[in-house]
Amino acid sequence: DAKTTQPTSMDCAEGRAANLPCNHSTISGNEYVYWYRQIHSQGPQYIIHGLKNNETNEMASLIITEDRKSSTLILPHATLRDTAVYYCIVNIQGGSEKLVFGKGTKLTVNP
Amino acid sequence: SAVISQKPSRDICQRGTSLTIQCQVDSQVTMMFWYRQQPGQSLTLIATANQGSEATYESGFVIDKFPISRPNLTFSTLTVSNMSPEDSSIYLCSVVQGPFEKLFFGSGTQLSVL
């Protein structure tokens, strides 16, 4: 079973920041938080991952709470092309083969 | 990042027949996986394709139904055998690559069984 809980769906206005929450209250000390997204009819795409520090790359920012029991993926300026299902996954590094995908959050970016 | 080519991209098959899906990666990779995504659902890992040995199947998936080949470090096939309408799904090939062991996915095979 997935170790994360995400809202089923969210909406965001184009140009605004999209903040996608994820709860992972049973995360263990050596587990990373990974985010992937799946645009309709495509394979999932890696976005970002982190252990305990906040991370930023060209796609998004990842904010992990100090107790590591939850995190937020931030798309700073959402576009229509960001409409997708976003998956939050926890896993140990080196254990990629056991990635368990939950149901994710369906993000709809509206014009 | 790895470039993964999956063929066919979609197919419509008759009940009782078999379909073989091919996955070609543009570089050598150690870990290669097959996932299934049923309509409206999330991804479920079918098996790990091991080079030079039998695939490792997840609970609920068996070799007779989903035989997998991995002849080298850049290629794998998944066969869906004796298909029924319940096998209608998207089948995805994925590989692990990079220092942080990110997963990269092919574009998937949309299978419809009549």
Alpha carbons B102 and A93: distance in angstroms, whole number: 9
Per-residue model confidence (pLDDT) at position B77: 97
With beta carbons less than 8 A apart as the criterion, state whether B75 and B25 touch.
Answer: yes
**Contact (CB<8Å) A100/B45:** yes
Mutation target to probe the A interface, by most A beta carbons within 10 A, among B58, B105, B110 is B105
Q: pLDDT at position A1, please?
A: 61
Amino acid at B67: P
Q: Are strands A105-110 and A61-64 parallel, antiparallel or unpaired?
A: unpaired
User: Per residue in B50-66, pLDDT tens?
Assistant: 888 889 999 999 999 99
Q: Strand pairing of B109-113 and B10-13?
A: parallel
**A40 or A111, which is more confident:** A111
Longest dimension (CA), chain A: 40
How far apart CA A86 and CA A89 sit, in angstroms, is: 10
CA distance A18 to chain B (A): 22
CB contact under 8 A, B105 and A45: yes
**Cβ distance of B108 and A93 shorter than 8 Å:** no
In tens, the pLDDT along A21-80 reads 999 998 888 888 999 999 987 899 999 999 998 999 999 999 999 999 999 999 999 999
The pLDDT, as a whole number, for residue B69 is 95
